Structure 1
């Protein structure tokens, strides 16, 4: 049985292309901006567990944002699960709204649909919100009535911070906790620390390049829920933004 949130998200995000066209079409009125990214990573790690069986993954995303704060985005990644060998791609659609209370405080509320074209049983939806202070500290909250496609509720919270040493180097760290229904699995905690290097562009005005080195770790509960997927691992990623 599909959850109410998933049904609503499917109706909304199945029209994601229309939302993208709407934002693009409103450029004259709201000066919509377009951005994108492409990433090559040694291991696609999400909330502490690998989504690519510790193999490299290719990722790309496109976002359209209006001046009034509305935005829509699509993001895709190659994936690999031993338990679901026919799953090869993840496509995430996001509809959201963001703004600022003050120059220091910003907020973002969104609806994310995690879609797996070749493995529909893995599809699920999450409501999310993030509050950021000075682009240095953030608190994130996510909730779903079908967390991880388990047909049970789940709440995810993350607290993170970044510290720029200069224009080309910064350090980021975050800790997250996933409260899951006892009927599904034990709740778990994970953490990460990243060193991020901004690289000179190949040409002036070309795509921005970042090299990110990240160490991930989880508790035993995550390892029980995701055998051979959670635990300690290191990820290296090169991302181009445009």
Structure 2
């Protein structure tokens, strides 16, 4: 597939995807969804990839759905938004959450609606100081989709999640960091430097262990403590036989830098 709405590259173990409709604040159309889906499939299939980095081109990360792509006039017949969620937004979030590697999101400028929740579905979110998060759905009589109703209360609690969802107020990057919604905010000019440095770190890290960490944290919301302890034992048993564990121990004892394979 040739890409017209995204930029995508794989280099040095890093897969980087840039939403690339800057004139429309990188809002999603069906064509963009299909391109992102194709790129994520390539990431899943390429065993050399050890970290995924997502960002946006221009002055904003993503303004959510391009309303012109499914325009509806007052009094006209409605559109099936549930179909859009089921075909595009739900599979997108699930694909990101299930990638067996760290997923970093570098938020430049506004992240609104589905764009905000797409960012928050990633494992680690870094935002420029000028970035903001807006759950704009309430302004259209909708609910926070793209996993928003699941992600928000788990990140910041029910009270703050409800306020964001029902008021649709802009949340600055600094406040998002204070609330624990994102990992951290940085000066705009350092955003991609920080995100790239983190991606380069993960590209040489023990990827399988990080993938299991990600999976264990995600499933902990559903498990009781005994269930989670059992899962931890099963994962530790498997990881204990891995090359990266043996290499990590050997490097620690030898006081040298480890050379992880990520397998």
Q: TM-score range by the shorter chain?
A: under 0.3
Q: TM (normalized to structure 2)?
A: 0.22
**Comparing both structures, which one devotes a greater share of its residues to helix?**
2
Q: Which structure is larger by alpha-carbon Rg, 1 or 2?
A: 2
Q: TM (normalized to structure 1)?
A: 0.23
**Comparing both structures, which one devotes a greater share of its residues to strand?**
1
